[in-house]
Structure 1
Amino acid sequence: MSYQKNQFFTLLTYILLLSLGTILSMLSITGSAYFLTITLGSLIATGVMIYLVKLSGPLPFEKKSDLNHDLQWIILGTVGAIVVQFGIGFLDQLVFHASTNSQNTIGLLLMVKEYPYYFLYVMIAAPIMEEIIFRRVFFANLIKPTNIYIAAIISAVIFAFMHQDTRFLVYVAMGLWFAFIYYKSKNIYVSAGSHIIMNAIVLTMSIA
């Protein structure tokens, strides 16, 4: 499989998963059946995308590294992500009077409380897929035709737009941070690990 086809099928897998909710709604499938299907679909899609990443081989700036290196970057990525999220969130509220509450996070919390198994999608599948799509497919592929800064901004804006949250600037900042972690660590699973842990911490703090 060519690299272009690999990237196309990776993106297509994500689009199909995003379309799954609409299809289920059209079929009047709601409640537990809806969220269970979304959860299982997301796990399958994540597995397919990880396989496609492996199949594509390393990108020019990606390098194999040891566990110690990766763990250090995951810790830095997680701490930085939390600082960026709360820091930009505070500035967003101060300057633009934006809500301190993320509608996206609140919605996910309500769903996880109602359907506990949905956390597999929210805390594991979603962060991995988002890193593969927004960082590896968009950011990495935009570096050559533009430059690293423009690529990071474009991918971060798309990342923020897809979350459809009132705290747009926070998600743009998060997209930029995770692009930085991915590029510097040279491993997509490092940024994914940071993303997973950050989501877990933020959701846990929101529940408490």
Structure 2
Amino acid sequence: MNEALWLVMLLVNFGMILLFFRLFGKIGLFLWVPIACIVANIQVIKLVDLFGFSATLGNIVYASSFLVTDILSEIYGKKEAGKAVKAGFLSLLSMTLLMTLALKFVPATDDFAQSSLATIFAIMPRIAGASLMAYLISMFHDVWAYDFWRKQFPQDRMMWLRNNASTMVSQLMDSTVFTLVAFAGVYPSGVLWQIFWTTYLLKWAVAAADTPFLYLARHWYRKGIIE
């Protein structure tokens, strides 16, 4: 059941990115990055069983932001991709501050949401701190690496190489930093190790699967479908 849902979520994420791009162009890609950052950092709290292993949810949504920066790098250049990274960072920082403040309010007698919000957002500062560190390191590396590989292999037919070469290394960096900072001491070492490898392998699978969508986005742009 979880595996089927994982595939559905994969298609929904890529489909939404292309829809945002088709409807709003470059601005749509900028809009998706904050959505991915916020949703992923809520979903990551949930631990699920996938393909026989324990993994945190949110891997697909978060990994989809790498597709966005690769589209931006390919079509609009390194500078525009960097702007999207900064937008995602500020959106996650803003959510963390706002929800931390929200939890400080004393709830009314008839309130029913405080405990549920606390369950999700009380640990958010640690999760968000880990995510912010991992996000900045991995995403700026991805933007740099894509530009580097594009200069080495500028041919159109080599876009799959620069896409995967940049993303897969960046996601390894992301998984390492995030898992250690967010979950060290929270889960037993065996579970922590399992979370790290499953997180990375799932992100690796997302990176491999997003390549056709990158080609489609570039095709739309060159055909003048996207302004």
TM-score (norm 1): 0.35
Instruction: Please tell me whether Structure 1 or Structure 2 has the larger radius of gyration of its CA atoms.
Output: 2
**Higher RCO (CA-CA < 8 Å; seq separation 6+):** 1
